[in-house]
């Protein structure tokens, strides 16, 4: 096993309430068994910066294929191409904490971040939206029938602050719309001003849908 998988196995062994590491495959994937007896394979990455497709493709060439690919540290970005590759292989991607979440689904390969899944579905259902593709795990290129394409950044926040907007720009680069994932909470005036200063808009879900429809 590689050092990342060993580290992950050690961390999981500290708390076996929800799942345990049953062993590993010859490829070095961890065999995870949930409390209910469901088993799935997890591959571990230790990439800093941006995870590229070349770094995930090797996981899917052997006889055993992982249902979940995780990266440590969690701050690392997943490129759209890496995400597409993983999803094409009917697998999921995430962080350490997603091992338990994926296990709870009893279909780890179909595990998706709940917030992102909601936004993707909602955007896809908009009549003016032609297609949606990942740029990063929470940044999407949305092609519209009218009005051209937009880059939409979804942030995991109850209240969107100016720092959330600046941090999104720093981490992911340009976006046209930054939207908060929670339907509760507020967007501060300072967040709206920060987005405007970048030529973007800070919106809640309803505002995003209205914007996509234009």
Partner 1 sequence: MSCEIIRSNVIANLEELAKSLGAAASGTEWHLFGSVNRGVPGASDIDLMIFCGSDAQADVLRHAIDPESLPLPLHLSLLTFNEAITINAASIQKSTVILRLAPIPA
Locate 151 and state its tokens: 């880059």
DSSP three-state, residue 154: strand
C-beta closer to partner 1: residue 157 or 178: 157
Burial (CB < 10 A; 0-12, 13-18, 19+), residue 135, is buried
- Shortest distance, CB of residue 194 to partner 1, whole angstroms? 8
Contact call for residue 191 and partner 1 (CB under 8 A):
yes
Rounded to a whole number of angstroms, the minimum distance from the CB of residue 206 to partner 1 is 17
189 near partner 1, judged by CB under 8 A: yes
The window from 73-81, 85-93, 143-151, 202-210 that contacts partner 1 (CB under 8 A) reads 73-81
Q: How many CA atoms lie within 13 A of 193 on its CB side?
A: 4
**Least Å from the CB of residue 49 to partner 1:** 15
- The one-character DSSP state at 187 is B
* Binding residues for partner 1 restricted to 162-181, rule: CB under 8 A: 162-164, 166-167
Q: Is 75 in the site for partner 1 (CB under 8 A)?
A: yes
DSSP per position, 162-177: HHHHHHHHHHH---SE
Letters for 136-165 (x = contact with partner 1 by CB under 8 A, - = none) are: --------------------xxxx-xxxx-
- Other CB atoms within 10 A of residue 184 CB: 8
Asked if 188 touches partner 1 (CB under 8 A), the answer is yes
**Residue 17 Cβ vs partner 1, minimum distance, rounded to whole Å:** 9
Question: Which of residues 72 and 129 has its CB atom nearest to partner 1 in the complex?
Answer: 72
Q: How far is CA 190 from CA 142, 193, 198, in A?
A: 26, 5, 13
Task: Provide the sign of the torsion angle of the four alpha carbons 213, 182, 80, 93, taken in this order.
Answer: negative
Using CB under 8 A, list all residues that contact partner 1: 72-75, 95, 97, 156-159, 161-164, 166-167, 185-186, 188-191
């Amino acid at each position: 096993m590689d050092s990342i998988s060993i580290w992950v196995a050690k961390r999981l062994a500290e708390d076996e309430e929800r799942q345990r590491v049953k062993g590993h495959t010859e490829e070095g994937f961890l065999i995870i068994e949930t409390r209910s007896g469901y088993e799935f394979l997890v591959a571990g990455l230790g990439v800093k910066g941006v995870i590229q497709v070349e770094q995930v493709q090797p996981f899917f060439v052997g006889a055993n294929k992982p249902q979940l690919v995780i990266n440590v540290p969690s701050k690392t970005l997943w490129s759209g191409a890496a995400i597409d590759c993983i999803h094409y292989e009917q697998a999921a991607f995430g962080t350490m904490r997603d091992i338990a979440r994926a296990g709870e689904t009893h279909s780890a390969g179909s595990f998706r971040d709940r917030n992102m899944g909601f936004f993707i579905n909602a955007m896809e259902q908009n009549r003016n939206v032609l297609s949606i593709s990942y740029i990063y795990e929470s940044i999407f290129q949305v092609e519209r029938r009218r009005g051209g394409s937009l880059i939409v950044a979804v942030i995991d926040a109850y209240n969107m602050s100016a720092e959330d907007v600046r941090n999104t720009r720093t981490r992911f680069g340009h976006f046209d719309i930054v939207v908060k994932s929670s339907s509760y909470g507020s967007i501060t005036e300072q967040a709206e001003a920060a987005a405007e200063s970048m030529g973007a808009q800070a919106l809640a879900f309803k505002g995003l849908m209205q914007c996509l429809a234009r």
